[in-house]
Every structure is written in C-alpha cells, then in structure tokens.
Structure 1
Amino acid sequence: MFFAQDFLQQRAIMRVYSAYRLVLASMILIALLFGPANSTLGTIAPKWFAIAVIGYTLFAIAALLIHTLFSTKYSQTQLFFEFFVDVGVIMLMSYCSGSADSGLPLLLIVTISAASITMPGQLSLAIAALATISAISEVAAHTLSERVSAQRFIVAGMTGTTYFAAAIAIRYLSARIVKAQQLAEHRRTDIEQLSRINQRIVQRMQTGIVVMSKTGQIKLINAAATELLDIPTPVTDSNHYVPPALIDMARNHKNTTKVINIGAGHLDIHVNMSILEKNSDSHRLLYLEDISKINQRAQNLKLASLGRFTASIAHEIRNPLSAISHAAQLLAESPDLNEVDQRFAAIIQNHALRMNDIIKNILELSRGRSPEPLRFALSSWLKQFLDDWQPSNHKPLDINVDSALKDDDVNVDRSQLVQIISNIAENGARHGAENSDKAILTFRCIKNASSGAVSLDIIDNGPGIKPEDEDKIFEPFFTTQKQGNGLGLYLCRELCLANQIHIYYRRTERGESCFRLQFSHPDRGTIAD
C-alpha cells in the first residue's frame, strides 16, 4: 500500500514539474522571439540556442503528455534521463548566452529539487554533480575563445555548492515528509483496523446498541438491537426509524432509563438512553437489554433461595404425608368400610397424591439444575419427540407438524425442552378432548426473517384461555381446573427463562389457542421479537 502511495506521490510531482518545464521552455522561446535586441540570451551562438530552445519545448510537451495520459510505473532510468536532459539543455543554453548574467544555471536548483524528491539519494546527488560539472565546464569552455576571470570559476564553484546543498536539504526534508506520511498512513490503518474491530464487537454484543437522531432516524444499530426491535436488516439507508416508544424517549433532553414493551411478543426491554453531546439536538445512544435476562439472573437467585427452603422442609412434609397416604390406602382395603367411608378414604388418597405432586414440582424448581444447552435442529428433534410422546388421558389425538424450515437450529437444554413441550402439549390434549370428540395438536416451526431466530407454536383445539386470565396463567398456583395445582405453566416459564426462551400465550389468525416459544438466536443468545 505504501508503494502505491509513493507512486501516486511521485506521479503527482512529475506532472507538476512537467508543467513547470513547459512553462519555462515557452517563456524562454517567447523571450527569444519577441525579446529586446540587446538580450543576453543566445548572444554567442544564437543558432544553437534557438535549436536548444525549440527542442526543449518539444521535449517538455512530450514529457507532459506522457505524465498526464499514461499511468505506468516510472523507472529510475526514465526519471534520470529527463533530469539529465534538463541539465544538459539548460547548461547548453547558458553556454550559448555567454554572459554570466543570464541566470540560467540557477534554474537547475528546481530540477535538482525535483530529482531529490522523486529519485533515490545517490541518483539525486548524481544529478547535482552533473549540474556542478556542467557549470564548471561551461566556464572552462569559455576560456578557449576568450579571456575569463578567475571570479567566474569561483561563481561556478559556489553554484555547484548551492546545487549540492539544495539536493541534500530537499532530500532530507523529503525523507522527513515521507516518514511523517508513512506514520500517518500507519496510524490511519490502525484506526481503520480498530474501527473494524469495534464494529465487529458492537455487532456481536448481546446488548442492543442504537445510535439515532432526535427524530428517531437510525444512524447505527447492531444485530441484537435489530432482533429486539424487529427492524428489517440490513439497515443501509436513512429510511429506518426506531419504534415510536423510543422516539418519545428521544424527545427528552436528559439521560433517562426506562422499561418499554415492544412487539407482538410483548418483550420487556430495558432502555438506557444517553445524549452524546450537551446539545439537545445531538444524537442519542441507546443500550437495549432484554429484561428476560435480568429475570433469569433473578430467577437463579430465587431458585437458590427456594432450594434451601424446600430442602429443609421436604422431609418434614413428605414423611407425614406418606404416612397419611399409606394409612388411607390400608383403610380403603378394609372390608368393613361402608360406601361412604370408602369415598372419604379415596378423597384422602387423591388429595395426598395431589400434595405429593405439588411438593415434587416445587422440588424440581428448587433444585434449579443449570441448563446444559446443545445446538440441534428443532424440526427433526420435534418429530422424534412426538413419536415417543403420548398424553396421559389416552383419548383420541391427532398430531400435526408444520415445518418447512431448512435451517432451524436452537441452542437449549434438550431434557428441559422435553419438560416444557410435554407440559404444554398435555394441557392442550386434555382441553382439546374436553372441548370436542378428538384432541388436535399442531406444532408449527417458524423463523424470523430479519433475525434468523426460530419460534415454535403449539396450537390446540381447546376453548383457550379467557382474556382476563391471560396475564395470570404463568403465576404459581393459578389454575382454572378443579384437579390442577397451578404449577405446570409456572414450571414451564421458569425453565424457559433458564434457557432464554420467551413463552407467551396468543390466538392464531383463526382464533385457535396457541402457546409460542421464541428461542434465542443460536449464535448471539438474544431473543427476537
């Protein structure tokens, strides 16, 4: 990259110098043709001077065309030849002018400076040496035809010293400029690399990052934020805006923090907004975090506390409960009991079993086994699961799987996913059988087009949840069934939180009862809306 940069710089310098050469040759030609009769130019050999000026003008035109029209890389021989011609022609014109007052040798300082910038140090010093030798040779040539004072040799020597001084000084300054330019290029490369690294880090962050204007126009957004806000990707133009709830936050002129609910999945998102500059019209920086992750951390603390509590009382409850259940069973087997007493004994057994199920479910929650996520294709796993699963009520059941996805990977704990789907499917089969002659369960796998995350809909033909009860179904001990304990869906939600799965109840387009499981993206671990 630096070689390319050096070539572009060299090419630009040669274009400027070629233009200077053409202007210089043209001015000397005009001075020759239209100048005063007593001009010092070409006084000794006017014919050779005219030939040199005309030839130099044609050479300048050709060189300018070459440097302008062609972009091939220069060779050192080509550049040395051009500067050599400059030195030779100018010193020839100086010789033809005869007088030391022509000042033509001083023009070589520009030539030597250009050579010092565009060529290596040895070649540029060679040009300076040729110019010095030419200046001294010119004076020596004049001694053959006329008497020349020693002062002209001194002037020629001082001119040669000036040539070398200019070559060394320009070479030093050029080296310093090139070194500074290379350092700046290194810094620019480092900054670009850091920018790419920062961009990659931002895109891979699980926390959503959004930079937007006061009006909500998106300036920068990472993948996690597009999933949380359900914004189509890629965001490449200025026509993408954040949801209205975030625009309302942007109108506030102070840094603020708020929890908002966005999307059909009703995701609770914790938003932290900062104004980048003191100016109230400056861009806003938003940090978005799915509240389910915070709930997951709180859930872990809750399970740990619940585990310590239930472990201390489990045996205290189960031991007498086991004795009650065993005594009721023995009592029911007694032949002396009448029908009423047998019914009471059956009630005792049923409620003892119900209490035992409650304790069993609470113990499962209290143990709080950390999930062991494994990446796998959901559709193929679901078909295998349904081949082995049967509802406990043994009533007629139709199971349909609707999935045409080719890439539906999820990253969750398989055993805990079995518990979740079994519980929901068991409830759906029971309510479907109660509502009609046959229970119908439909499992539908869908994929978010913008985020790539997978969702699973479990649809049944039951009556569904009443609208006023939809916010309560995941609460512990809430149930609409006489024999239910209200812990099934609560257990499902806790297991979903542990696996970063968003679960909620909805109605399909045809009004069917549906539970949706929204899985986190298998790579980033963020939940799509």
Structure 2
Amino acid sequence: MSFAQDFPQQRAIMRVYSAYRFALAGVILIALIFGPANSTLGITAPKWFAIAVLGYVCFALLSLIVHTLLSSRYTQTQLFFEFFIDIGVIMLMSYCSGSADSGLPLLLIVTISAASITMPGQLSMAIAALATISAISEVAAHTLTERVSAQRFIVAGMTGTAYFSAAIAIRYLSGRIVKAQQLAERRRTDIEQLSRINQRIVQRMQTGIVVMSQTGQIKLINAAATELLDIPTPAPNTQQYAPPVLIDMARTTENSAKVIKIGPRHLDVHVNMSILEQNDDSDRLLYIENISKINQRAQNLKLASLGRFTASIAHEIRNPLSAISHAAQLLAESPDLNDVDKRFTTIIQNHALRMNDIIKNILELSRGRSAEPARFSLSAWLRQFLDDWQPTGHTPLDINIDSNLQDDFINVDRSQLTQIISNIADNGARHGAEKHSRAVLTFRCRKNPSSAAVSLDIIDNGQGIKEEDEDKIFEPFFTTQEQGNGLGLYLCRELCLANQIHIYYRRTERGESCFRLQFSHPDRGTLAE
C-alpha cells in the first residue's frame, strides 16, 4: 500500500515526533539521575546505559532543532537514519537494563507508527523488521552471559508481531486519512474555483447586487452596485454601510420592492429586496436596476420611429431648401437691391443654412452606424485629439489637461468619441468666449477606485446650464441659443449610449460648468447603469 504524503504534513509529523523523542530522552535521563536505587534502568551495564541516554538526549535535541528551524525537504535516507538510531539506542538501553520488565522495547511502537506515516510502505516495513530483529537479538545477547528462559523469546516474538501489526494498522489508517484529506482538498479547490467564478459573474453583472445585514452593514457588493450607489469598494477587514434609504428598506421584515432616487446624480433605481432566511435577523439580498436607462431606451425607441419619419421628410425638404438658398445667394448679388432687401436676403441665407444643419443632423441620426470599439489609452488619444482640433470660429482659447493616470484604457469607437468631444468642446469654447474675453477648457481624466472605470470631465468657464434646464439639455430640439438647433447634445448622448458611455452634466466644487463622460470598464464592456 502506498500513498502520497505532502511535505507540510510530513514536516508537521516529524516536528511532533522529534518533540516526543526529546521528551522521552529527557524523562529517561531524569529517571536515571533521580530514580530509586533499585530501578531496573541500566541495572546490567549502568555505564553504557548512561552513555546511551546522554547520546540520545543530544541526538533528540539536535533533531528537534533541525525539524523546527529548517524547512528543506526530507530525504528517505535521512528519515530512515533517524528511526534506525531510535531503534538502536532504545534496544541498547533495554539490553543494559537486563530485566524483561523494563518495557523499553514497547516504546518502539511509537517509532514504528511515525515511520509508517512518514515513509513509503517498504521502508516502514523495513523499520518494523529491524525493530523485531533487534528485540530478538537483545534476548539472544543475554544468553551469552546468563541463562534465559524460552518465555523471553516468545515475548520478543510477540513484541515483533506487535511491531508489524502497528506498522500495518497505522499504514492503513494513514492511507485512509490521506485519501480523505486529498478528496477534501479537491473538493475545497473545486468550491474555491466555483466561488471565484461566481464572484466574477456577480462582479460583471449589469444589475447591482448587495448583501447587507439588517443594520445596513455591507457584506457583499459588486462593481455595478458601487457605480449606481456611488460608494467606494470596501477595503478588506473594514466595515461599510449602505445609504440610509437602503437601511430603512432593510429594516422591514418582508420582501419588498420600490423605486428610489439615489446618488449625486439622482438616478431612478428599482430596488428588489429579498430576505435570505426565514428569521428577521438574516441578511438582505438587494437587486438594484437603473430604470433611468430603461426609460431612456424606451424613449429612444419612440425617437427612432420619429427619426425615420422625420428623415424622410428632411430628405424631401433638402432639395427645395437648396434651391431657396441658391436663389437667395443669386438675388443678393443683384446690383438693383437696396440695403433693406439685401438684409432680407441675408436673413434668408442664414436661416437656410440653419435649416440645412438641422436636416444634416437628423439624417445623421437616422443613418447612425454601429459602434466599432477599440481599446486605447484615453490620455494619449486626448492629447492627439487636442493637437488636431480647433474650435469653430477660431475662438481665443486656452486648453488644460489634468491627467496623471497610468492605466486609463477605454474600449470605444474612436471616430464617434471624436464627434462627442468635438461637440461638447465647441459648445464650451463658445460659451466661455461669450462670458469672458478668452475661453478656457480643462480636460480632467480620473479613475473610479471602486470599479477601475475611467471618467473624463470637460470643464469650461462659461455661464453654465441653469438648474431648471439640466434635465432637458439632452432632449432633441431643446436649446437655449437663438441660433441653436437643439440636436448637438442629443446626438452626443446617442453616440455615448452606443459606446456604453454615461454622459451627464454637473457643477464642479468651484461651481464650474462640467460635462462628465463615464466610460465602462474596458474588460466588462458594459456600464452598470
């Protein structure tokens, strides 16, 4: 019978056995020094018995130090030598004690058991055979100096039988234990692998998952939930609590579901809470879904139908609009027009151009192509973009880049990202120049520590959006400018949606106007919103 013994287990067993060996040698030495005068220990050859005990104590101390301090792997020769020394010294002490009542040969059962656990089957049987031979030889050696009864040989043979029985029994039990331990280790590995898979699935889900106690202490939270709730990922061995609105919900004793506004962006989220066990003190499992995105998709479906209808109308309008614009241009060149008529032709041309821009944007929305995402560094791309980009109308402009990220990879369509940032930057430059003599744009790259997702803030020094208009700026045809068509930011939002980017308007800590682009994780591929 053979089985594999792991080195850490083998080392642990040898540490315990070396401690036992040292304690045994110490007890025998104390018994020799302080024991009664009529003790059987060393009665036949006290000098050799004392030498054997002292040598055994030194050997036991040395082996204890080796097994305790050193971590190198054992060789079979090393282990066999240690057990061989044990057998030789104990049998020598038994011979020096003379009497059969010393009981020292029975101590070898522990040695044989340790050898059966730590050594292969053949070598452990060899140790048992050596112990048996030593027991019989010790009795035979006494026959040279004294008369020995046959019963002593029978006892020695029975002792040898006990050695082999102990070796076989311990070997069998050790094999069963090791197999059970290996099976448990495989099951543990499988469970850990399944746990890692489940953890990865939970972390990559778009639905937010939170497991929390009734008092609000978070025990499990995935990346989607941290993004929705805008809370950092809890550090190891630290306690983190859910927002108060979720704690109030967790205090109920029944499963429930409700729609709440949460986070600095006031997102509408649907929270479905389930109690994991029947008792009221059990943990709560919360599923958090962003219904703002669902509502937005529903609105996009309506707008898509409207877009196809308006695109057909726009196509029909474009030809006569071109004719009107061309006629107004020719009319403006006539020398017979007075100043009032020329002003009217200018108005016709300006509004014709405006109508053409509206039709162009509508047709671009209706023909929207699918995104072709690519993985690249946002900071490097942004610097290249700003080297090539110029604001419309050559507005006086200062540009600042605030980015110290090393790993800021995103996975979006480059051309569509160019279109998004160009539109927002043009608006920021125009509004900044209207309020000040010179526009200032700041591009700030940051990374969310909880989800490792990258965000880009585009900050301008303009007047900013009025608070009552912040919810409307991404709606089609909403504009605060007399010459605007209200489709620029709507187009930006559509392109962001196609690239899994969340875009929203906010104010900075200093009250500056800011558009934030929050990119999804490049490996997760979708934003948990």
Q: TM-score range by the shorter chain?
A: 0.7 to 0.9
* Aligned-residue RMSD, C-alpha: 4.4
- Spell out the pairing of 1:163-202 with structure 2 (5 A cutoff): 163-192=163-192, 195=195, 199=199
Work out the CA distance in 2 between the residues paired with 1:76 and 1:415. Answer: 71
Does the C-alpha gap of structure 1 residues 5 and 188 become closer, same or farther in structure 2, counting only changes over 3 Å?
farther
- Report the Cα offset of residue 64 of structure 1: 4.1
Q: Is the 8 A contact 2:470 2:505 kept in 1?
A: yes
Q: Does 1:130 align with 2:130?
A: yes
Q: Does 1:62 align with 2:87?
A: no
Q: Is the 8 A contact 2:429 2:441 kept in 1?
A: no
Q: Report the 3-state secondary structure (helix = DSSP H, G, I; strand = E; otherwise coil) of the residue aligned with 2:477.
A: coil
Counterpart amino acid of residue 326 in structure 1: A
Match in the other structure for 1:38: none
Deviations 1:401-426 (A, max 9, x none): 11131435543323223333333344
Q: Is the 8 A contact 2:455 2:516 kept in 1?
A: no
Q: Is the 8 A contact 1:428 1:459 kept in 2?
A: yes
Counterpart amino acid of residue 65 in structure 2: L
Counterpart amino acid of residue 283 in structure 1: D
Match in the other structure for 1:88: 91
Match in the other structure for 1:33: 37
Counterpart amino acid of residue 4 in structure 1: P
- Report the Cα offset of residue 65 of structure 1: 2.6
Does the C-alpha gap of structure 1 residues 27 and 123 become closer, same or farther in structure 2, counting only changes over 3 Å?
farther
Deviations 1:493-517 (A, max 9, x none): 2222222333223344554444333
Match in the other structure for 1:46: 43
Does the C-alpha gap of structure 1 residues 383 and 187 become closer, same or farther in structure 2, counting only changes over 3 Å?
closer
- Spell out the pairing of 1:435-454 with structure 2 (5 A cutoff): 438=437, 440-448=439-447, 450=449, 451=452, 453-454=454-455
Does the C-alpha gap of structure 1 residues 196 and 319 become closer, same or farther in structure 2, counting only changes over 3 Å?
closer
Q: Is the 8 A contact 2:373 2:499 kept in 1?
A: yes
Q: Report the 3-state secondary structure (helix = DSSP H, G, I; strand = E; otherwise coil) of the residue aligned with 1:280.
A: coil
Q: Is the 8 A contact 1:93 1:104 kept in 2?
A: no
Q: Is the 8 A contact 2:501 2:518 kept in 1?
A: yes
Q: Is the 8 A contact 1:25 1:53 kept in 2?
A: no
Does the C-alpha gap of structure 1 residues 373 and 163 become closer, same or farther in structure 2, counting only changes over 3 Å?
closer
Deviations 1:104-145 (A, max 9, x none): 544443443343334443343333333433444455455566
Does the C-alpha gap of structure 1 residues 502 and 121 become closer, same or farther in structure 2, counting only changes over 3 Å?
closer
Work out the CA distance in 2 between the residues paired with 1:297 and 1:13. Answer: 71
Deviations 1:188-209 (A, max 9, x none): 4554555555555655656554
Instruction: Give 2:323's match in structure 1, choosing from 309, 323, 326.
Output: 326
Deviations 1:458-514 (A, max 9, x none): 4143x4333222222222233344444332322222222222333223344554444
20-29 or 446-455, which deviates more? 20-29
Q: Is the 8 A contact 1:424 1:489 kept in 2?
A: yes
Counterpart amino acid of residue 17 in structure 2: I
Q: Is the 8 A contact 1:136 1:156 kept in 2?
A: yes
Stretches of structure 2 lacking an aligned partner (at least 5 in a row): none
Q: Is the 8 A contact 1:270 1:289 kept in 2?
A: yes
Instruction: Give 1:76's match in structure 2, choosing from 74, 79, 93.
Output: 79
Provide TM-score, normalisation by structure 2. 0.77
Does the C-alpha gap of structure 1 residues 273 and 147 become closer, same or farther in structure 2, counting only changes over 3 Å?
same
379-388 or 153-162, which deviates more? 379-388
Q: Is the 8 A contact 1:259 1:271 kept in 2?
A: yes
Match in the other structure for 2:7: 3
Work out the CA distance in 2 between the residues paired with 1:418 and 1:117. Answer: 70
Counterpart amino acid of residue 12 in structure 2: L
Q: Report the 3-state secondary structure (helix = DSSP H, G, I; strand = E; otherwise coil) of the residue aligned with 2:439.
A: strand
Match in the other structure for 1:399: 397
Work out the CA distance in 2 between the residues paired with 1:502 and 1:484. Answer: 24
Q: Is the 8 A contact 1:28 1:53 kept in 2?
A: no
- Spell out the pairing of 1:139-154 with structure 2 (5 A cutoff): 139-140=139-140, 150=150, 152-154=152-154
489-498 or 378-387, which deviates more? 378-387
Does the C-alpha gap of structure 1 residues 398 and 522 become closer, same or farther in structure 2, counting only changes over 3 Å?
farther
Q: Does 1:424 align with 2:424?
A: yes
- Spell out the pairing of 1:323-402 with structure 2 (5 A cutoff): 323=320, 326=323, 357-378=357-378, 381-382=381-382, 384-386=384-386, 389=389, 394=393, 397-402=395-400
Q: Report the 3-state secondary structure (helix = DSSP H, G, I; strand = E; otherwise coil) of the residue aligned with 1:170.
A: helix
- Report the Cα offset of residue 435 of structure 1: 5.2
Work out the CA distance in 2 between the residues paired with 1:254 and 1:15. Answer: 58
Counterpart amino acid of residue 362 in structure 2: I
Work out the CA distance in 2 between the residues paired with 1:113 and 1:431. Answer: 88
Q: Does 1:471 align with 2:466?
A: no
Q: Is the 8 A contact 1:224 1:526 kept in 2?
A: no
Provide TM-score, normalisation by structure 1. 0.77
Q: Report the 3-state secondary structure (helix = DSSP H, G, I; strand = E; otherwise coil) of the residue aligned with 2:460.
A: strand
Does the C-alpha gap of structure 1 residues 60 and 302 become closer, same or farther in structure 2, counting only changes over 3 Å?
farther
Work out the CA distance in 1 between the residues paired with 2:129 and 2:411. Answer: 76
Q: Report the 3-state secondary structure (helix = DSSP H, G, I; strand = E; otherwise coil) of the residue aligned with 1:46.
A: coil
- Report the Cα offset of residue 79 of structure 1: 1.3
- Report the Cα offset of residue 165 of structure 1: 2.2
Work out the CA distance in 1 between the residues paired with 2:117 and 2:526. Answer: 57
- Report the Cα offset of residue 92 of structure 1: 0.7
Q: Report the 3-state secondary structure (helix = DSSP H, G, I; strand = E; otherwise coil) of the residue aligned with 1:397.
A: coil
Does the C-alpha gap of structure 1 residues 57 and 328 become closer, same or farther in structure 2, counting only changes over 3 Å?
closer
Q: Is the 8 A contact 1:271 1:288 kept in 2?
A: yes
Match in the other structure for 1:459: 460
Q: Is the 8 A contact 2:112 2:167 kept in 1?
A: yes
Does the C-alpha gap of structure 1 residues 370 and 266 become closer, same or farther in structure 2, counting only changes over 3 Å?
farther
Q: Report the 3-state secondary structure (helix = DSSP H, G, I; strand = E; otherwise coil) of the residue aligned with 2:444.
A: strand
Work out the CA distance in 2 between the residues paired with 1:413 and 1:359. Answer: 24
- Report the Cα offset of residue 399 of structure 1: 1.6
Counterpart amino acid of residue 371 in structure 2: P
Work out the CA distance in 2 between the residues paired with 1:528 and 1:444. Answer: 24
Does the C-alpha gap of structure 1 residues 516 and 400 become closer, same or farther in structure 2, counting only changes over 3 Å?
farther
- Structure of greater Rg: 1
